[in-house]
Amino acid sequence: MTLIRLGYAAMSMNVKNGSPSQTMTHAQFLKIKNREAAIHKLERIAASNLANCLRLLRHNAAHNITFFRLSSKLIPMANHPDLPEWNYIRPLQESLGAIRSYLMEHSDMRVDFHPDHFVVLNTAETNVLKTAVQTLNMHKLLLKGMGIHPEHRCVIHVGGGYKNKEKALEQFVENWGRIPVSLQRMPMLENDDKTFTIHDTLYLCEKLGIPAVFDYHHHMANHQEKRRWEEEWPRVVRTWDSSKLPVKVHMSSPKSEKEFRAHADFIDVNEFLSFLHHVKGSVPQIDVMIEAKRKDDALFALVKDLKKAGVEQVDEASFSVG
C-alpha cells in the first residue's frame, strides 16, 4: 500500500484576504522619501504575509491537509541591491516564531518552497549565480526561522538550455561546486516543460545526490520520443533514498490542447488515476503537490472524484492505493 498525501501551493481560494504574497515594488519604495519609514513599511507587509501564512496553515490543518508550498514572496524586496544593509529576518522574529510554534504542534505537516524562475544554477554569468545563491540563502533563513530543517525544502528547475543542453547540464555540475555546502542540501530538482526532461534531470540528481521531483504535466509536454515516465520512476524513487522526506511529485492538467503547458483550474481525475495505477506499492508514501489554478478547491474536487472512483480515503486530503 502507498499513502498519497495531497497538497497545494501558496494561496487558498477559501481563506479570504489571506494573501501571503503582498508586495511592494522598488518604484513604490522610492516614492517614500524617508528611507527608514519605507523599510518599516516593507517589514509590515512581510509580517502581514507571515500572519496570512499562519492562517493558511490553520486552514490546512482543519481540512487534514499536511502538505503545503509556502509562498516565496513572503518578504518583498528581500536581497534587493538597493537594500544591502537590511536585515529582514530580525524584525520578523515574532511572526516566524508563531509559525514555528504552530508547526511544532503539527509535526506531520510538510512545508517547502519553490523559488522563482530566476534562481538559475546552471548559468555562466557570475551575477546571475550570485543572485540565485542569495535567494536560496533567504529561503534557508526563513526555514530556520520557522524551525524547519532546510534539507530538501526548495524545488528548483535545472535552468536554461543556452542552445546547448549537454553543456548546460555540465555547467550545473561545475556551478554546484561553487555553492556553499550549507545550501547544497536544500534543493530538489524538477523536470521542466520545455528543455530538461526527467531523463536529463535524473542525470544531475544521480550525479550530485539531489532528490528528483517528477512533474507529470511537464513530462507530457516535454519528453524524449518513445521514453515512458514509468521506466524512469524507479530511478526517481532511488534519488530519495538519502532523504528523510517522502517522494514528492507535482501534478497538474493542461488548460487545453492549444495551451497545453498552462495549468488547468482542476485536475483530470482519469490522468491522476492512471498515474496512481503505475506508482502504487512502489514506495510507502508519495506527497503530491497539486499545481492547479483553483488551489485548494482543486484539491477538494480531486478528493471527491477519487472517492467516487472507489479510492480508499484516509482523511480529507489523503488516501491509500495498493
What local confidence, expressed as pLDDT, does residue 34 receive? Answer: 97
- Helices 35-62 and 93-105 pack at an angle, to 10 degrees, of 10
**With a threshold of 0.95, does the pTM exceed it?**
yes
Strands (E) in 140-283, as ranges, are: 154-157, 187-190, 212-215, 247-251
Label residue 79 left, alpha or beta by phi (over 0 means left) and psi (-120 to 50 means alpha): left
Name all domains of the chain by residue range, CATH numbers in brackets: 2-321 (3.20.20.150)
Task: Give the residue from 243, 316, 253 showing the smallest Cα distance to 285.
Answer: 243
User: What string of pLDDT tens digits covers the 322 residues of the chain?
Assistant: 999 999 999 999 999 999 999 999 999 999 999 999 999 999 999 999 999 999 999 999 999 999 999 999 999 999 999 999 999 999 999 999 999 999 999 999 999 999 998 899 999 999 999 999 999 999 999 999 999 999 999 999 999 999 999 999 999 999 999 999 999 999 999 999 999 999 999 999 999 999 999 999 999 999 988 789 999 999 999 999 999 999 999 999 999 999 999 999 999 999 999 999 999 999 999 999 999 999 999 999 999 999 999 999 999 999 999 8
